[in-house]
């Protein structure tokens, strides 16, 4: 994991680019937020970037857990692929940074939450909602396969 270099992308705010200069992100660039959820390798937090006041999701992944599961190459591939994707149905990866024990992914915040959680809450989608979800899902998947057939996108969001 140590060859993972600090890589910075622009954080896009309402109506345009907020920060276009390259910079090295640190935790001090973000206001503390609330946890959004836990995953196998870490925790996702809702945070605000201090300079732009832009709300994002900050994924905190633990290097030790990633190494034990031999997931470092997949994480590096995810970062490389998702940092260059721009599609309305795929969450944007704005950048990343790391410290001695953690990797931090700066990700677009999905205000409506995950599609899976919405389906659990409603139990069943009506025909119109199901058709919309299918269209969004297929559109995002086609875009991804057009870019690279072996890549896997971030979780779908409620549209």
CB 118 within 8 A of CB 111: no
Classify strands 30-38 and 11-13 as parallel, antiparallel or unpaired.
Answer: unpaired
Number of residues that make up the chain: 159
Q: Does 116 belong to an annotated binding site?
A: no
Distances (CA, A) of 4 to 61, 98, 99: 13, 8, 10
Q: Tell me if 1 sits within 8 A of 66, measured CB to CB.
A: yes
The verdict on whether residue 108 carries a ligand-binding annotation is yes
CA 131 remoteness from chain centre: 25
Assess contact for 133 and 112: CB atoms under 8 A.
no
Residue 142 is assigned to a ligand binding site:
no
59 is in an annotated binding site: yes
10: DSSP letter? P
State the binding site: 59, 108-110
State the binding site for ATP: 59, 108-110
């Amino acid at each position: 994991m140590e060859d993972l270099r600090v890589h910075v992308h622009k954080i896009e705010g309402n109506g345009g680019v907020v920060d276009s200069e390259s910079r090295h992100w640190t935790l001090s660039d973000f206001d503390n937020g609330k946890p959004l959820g836990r995953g196998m390798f870490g925790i996702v937090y809702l945070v605000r970037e201090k300079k732009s006041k832009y709300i994002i999701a900050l994924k905190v992944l633990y290097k030790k857990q990633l190494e034990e599961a031999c997931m470092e190459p997949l994480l590096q591939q995810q970062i490389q692929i998702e940092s260059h994707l721009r599609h309305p149905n795929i969450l944007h990866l704005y950048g990343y940074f790391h410290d001695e024990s953690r990797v931090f992914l700066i990700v677009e915040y999905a205000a409506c939450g995950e599609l899976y959680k919405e389906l659990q809450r409603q139990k069943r989608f009506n025909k119109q909602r199901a058709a919309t979800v299918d269209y969004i899902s297929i559109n995002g998947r086609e875009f991804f396969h057009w870019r690279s057939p072996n890549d896997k996108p971030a979780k779908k969001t409620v549209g």
